[in-house]
Structure 1
Amino acid sequence: MENNLGSSRRSFDIWSELAPSFRESALARSVTGARSVHDGISGSMGTWRPVRPSFVERSHYDELGRVSARLMRLILDACRRRATTVGELQDVLGVDEADTPLLSRTELLGDHLLVAARPDIVYRSGVPRFVEFNIDGALGGTLQADLLAARFRDLYRPLPGGDRIDAPPSAVDSRFAEIRTSLGLSEGERVAIPVFSKGAAPGLEDPDAFLAWLAPMCESGRRHGMDTVACPMDRLETGEDDVLLLDGRRVDAVFRLFLSFDQPPSPGLDALVRSVRAGRVRMHTSEATWLLSDKTTMAWLWADKDALPGDDQRLIERHLPWTALFPAPGPDGEALLRHALAHRTELVLKPVGGYGGGGVVLGPEVRDEEWRRALEDARWAGRHILQTHVTPDRLALDFQDQETGALEHAEVPFVVGPFMFGGAPSGVLVRHGVPGGGPVLNAHHGALMSSVVLVDRC
């Protein structure tokens, strides 16, 4: 798969390339309308909000989707070279069975595992670099991305040139279309979306707020022919033959927005585990997809690279930062440690099963002694990777304080996450920093959730 993604531009965001007259009009509307655009959208802490989204050329968006789809396939292929079943992959990865109570070890490593994903992409000199690849159904941010893109599109549509601005396809609708297709659900079958307590986005910690937030998702599920209901986890129970029940009615499928190992013990989670293990309820997605998200798979791509076809080799070299297991197995362990100690400013240390920025150590951001201690801790704990640190491009944005109305301009780091459902791109979640913010771009660390609008070139 030949591609020159990122070769023709220096930035993901083409705002500066748009006509000055459009930018002047759009910015004026953005400043007066930003508060209503962001109103009621959870997931971002603090009071700063961007007054505009990223403007992305449609052809770049399409090509980003094609590269994402190919990398997903390469990750699955790397897993298949090492395992046939989910249980075998779990053993190769060294994932504790206690961390995957919903896992079916006999499940085959098949194409059905690639139905939902969202990579984490940073840009360097205009070239997208995939620093993580989340292949799982428990992907947050679809509704935020949809709402922001649609609201900004509607803000700009009345302007001269606004007819060339559009929102990406709805990530929420793409997700529910894929849920019905991939699970083979019939018209009217019941889908439950359990609300969980740990890992919820900022603003959704309260169960009632979470349930209200999920209402548009339930509406999308119903538009796609499924009786879709959000519910507190503990309203789930099992009946005869471990059939999963919600308020006494059978549940045909569960849309899993959570990671089971992260949740506290509860009767509702126990009921779900029993029903899944008995094969009495379908789930989007099976917990096997979480194994594909293990960052070990990115190290496997680099380990296998030279045996792959030339197009795939070039794809990995261009878009996937060098990644290696740490500690390295066998005699290479000491050499890799020496390399890591000597090249702190060029590397990032990550736990392979973490998420949300937890446990990540950026070499350029710490001193030598702290880096050495982090490496020693990782050697003792195992299951880490070293990855080339990508110094990211910056996104030049104006921000508005939602409480005071004050405006401030800043150039901030950003991460792009195109949602992939059924192998095709839909909405795009952009997480970026704020004026005076830090380098870790996660909602729980103060980063903002934003989105993109697509631009059709004349």
Structure 2
Amino acid sequence: MLETHTRAVGEVTVPGHPWFGEHQLPAAAPPDTIREMLRSEVRDIGYPYQPLLPAAPITLPRASYAELFRASAALLDLVRRAALETAATTSGRLAAYGMPDSENQLFVADRFIEERYADCVARPDVVIGPDGPKFLEFNVSGALGGPVEAHCRLEVWRRLYASDSGRLPFDYRSPLAARVEMFRSLCAELAVAPRVALLGSARDQGGATRFFDIEIDYFNNHGMTARFFEPEDLHEAWDCPPNLRYPLGLRNFTIPDWLELGIDTAPVQAALDNGCLLVGTQTSTFLSSKLTMGLLSEGRPWMSAAERAVVERYLPWTRILSDRRTTRGDKDVDLVQFVIDNRELLVLKESLGMSGKEVTLGREATQREWESAVTTAAPNTSIVQDYIDPHTCRLPILADTDDEPRNVDIAPVLGPVLLGGRPAGVFTRFFGDGRAGIVSVLGRGSSDNCAVAV
């Protein structure tokens, strides 16, 4: 087991975890310059105002950076297999997962294609606990946050830290370069022209299109043809001469978000039915469900000893909540009673949810609130999971009025992005004042950054 320790940086004693390493980059420009550059890069991408900003990237040892992607790839493979084996058909999986009726749409007719390209875009949420990385959940969706946001932060750090020769004091994986390579490989595999449709809506980004324009410009400057489509314009991706069609695209929306905004998904189904494959496919919803984490944690009959060891090492104890008995270490326990009796050890999460919503931390609830949440949760639609006390690293932080960065011990949630299985950068979120808890930029007002390797 890795033990918590302190490390010295200059005259400052820094509490943290050895997994984060010893190296910390200093701020590379005056505070006003850093603030202006960071806010300029993320302008008009649907981000809320962040009063606390990082003054440098989060630095990780190369071994830790590599471990994030190695473990992510191994677990994503297990997540995919666990989700697909719940039932032999899509209708069976919808029933097994208790999916709402709204999710029973936008499937590709060819089931092999549907399942083959479900996991193209993934980002787990990882915290560093006493024993190292723990994967709290897997986000599997073309609409997940991370690639564009991390790219924007990396652009700032790249400009600030580059030497006169262009060398950087750190390494990183470019999210948008990985996105291009993913689509280049998909086009070759499917034997289609390198023309990519990015499907989304400015209505989901505060009315601006810059979130999509950043990717479109990158694609078009790196050997592929790309275009942003609002759903109302999506027919132009397939109802046109063959040489102008977009046979492949990124599905950058979620059904719940578009339902909330009143956006019709019928044009998406029409595009799918007419040969425009949008990844990740709708089957990604099963992979992203937190129930899949419960299935893996409890173990599946087909898992090898090595696969069980990976799950034991990287996943917190997680169970699908229902009135039954299960294992806790080497003990057999009544699940519901165990959960009620151990509020401070556990977290309750609904199977579907984003931005930290539908999550109850036992230690932040009263016993009465906890018992009510547990007993009213519908059977087999929520999970309970060990609360992982997150360990910290030190990062220079800038508030709006700071003349100099302040070193803060933060507890980051790390988001290693995988695009077509390729490492695509590490998106990070944290509370700039050092708090822990449910971390979300959109839902909880946290700050964001990216992690690099040194």
2:218 — aligned with what?
220
2:319 — aligned with what?
324
Moved over 6 A (4+): 4-9, 330-334
2:398 — aligned with what?
400
TM-score, normalised via structure 1 length? 0.83
- The 2-side partners of 1:5 and 1:179 are apart by 39
Look up the SS of the partner of 1:370 in the other structure: helix
TM-score, normalised via structure 2 length? 0.84
Give the alignment of 1:295-310 within 5 angstroms: 295-304=290-299, 308-310=303-305
Does structure 1 residue 13 correspond to structure 2 residue 20? Answer: yes
1:272 — aligned with what?
268
Contact 1:167 1:452 in 2 (8 A): no
Distance change (3 Å), C-alpha of 1:159 and 1:127? farther
1:300, distance to aligned residue in structure 2 (A): 0.8
Distance change (3 Å), C-alpha of 1:69 and 1:435? same
Q: Which amino acid aligns with 1:57?
A: P
2:182 — aligned with what?
178
Distance change (3 Å), C-alpha of 1:149 and 1:412? same
Contact 1:190 1:250 in 2 (8 A): no
1:111, distance to aligned residue in structure 2 (A): 4.4
1:129, distance to aligned residue in structure 2 (A): 0.2
Q: Which amino acid aligns with 2:233?
A: R
Aligned identity (percent) is 22
Q: Which amino acid aligns with 1:263?
A: W
For residue 74 of structure 1, the aligned residue among 71, 78, 99 is: 78
Contact 1:153 1:166 in 2 (8 A): no
Does structure 1 residue 49 correspond to structure 2 residue 53? Answer: yes
1:245, distance to aligned residue in structure 2 (A): 6.9
Q: Which amino acid aligns with 2:374?
A: L
1:158, distance to aligned residue in structure 2 (A): 3.0
Does structure 1 residue 60 correspond to structure 2 residue 67? Answer: no
Give the alignment of 1:165-244 within 5 angstroms: 165-183=169-187, 184=190, 186-187=192-193, 189-195=195-201, 197=203, 200=204, 204-205=205-206, 207=207, 209=208, 211-237=209-235, 243=238
1:430, distance to aligned residue in structure 2 (A): 0.5
1:288 — aligned with what?
283
1:450 — aligned with what?
449
Distance change (3 Å), C-alpha of 1:103 and 1:114? same
- The 1-side partners of 2:221 and 2:3 are apart by 37
Does structure 1 residue 341 correspond to structure 2 residue 358? Answer: no
Contact 2:117 2:280 in 1 (8 A): no
Give the alignment of 1:338-377 within 5 angstroms: 338-377=337-376
Q: Report Cα offsets for 1:307-360 as digits up to 9, x if no partner.
A: 632222221111100110112468999921100111100000000111211110
Look up the SS of the partner of 1:113 in the other structure: coil
Distance change (3 Å), C-alpha of 1:268 and 1:89? closer
Distance change (3 Å), C-alpha of 1:163 and 1:12? farther
Q: Which amino acid aligns with 2:17?
A: R
Give the alignment of 1:111-126 within 5 angstroms: 111-125=116-130
Look up the SS of the partner of 2:41 in the other structure: coil
Q: Report Cα offsets for 1:48-68 as digits up to 9, x if no partner.
A: 101111111222212221111
- Unmatched segments (≥5 aa) in structure 2: 6-15
Contact 2:197 2:229 in 1 (8 A): no
Q: CA RMSD in A?
A: 3.3
Contact 1:418 1:427 in 2 (8 A): yes
Contact 1:76 1:292 in 2 (8 A): yes
Q: Which amino acid aligns with 1:136?
A: S
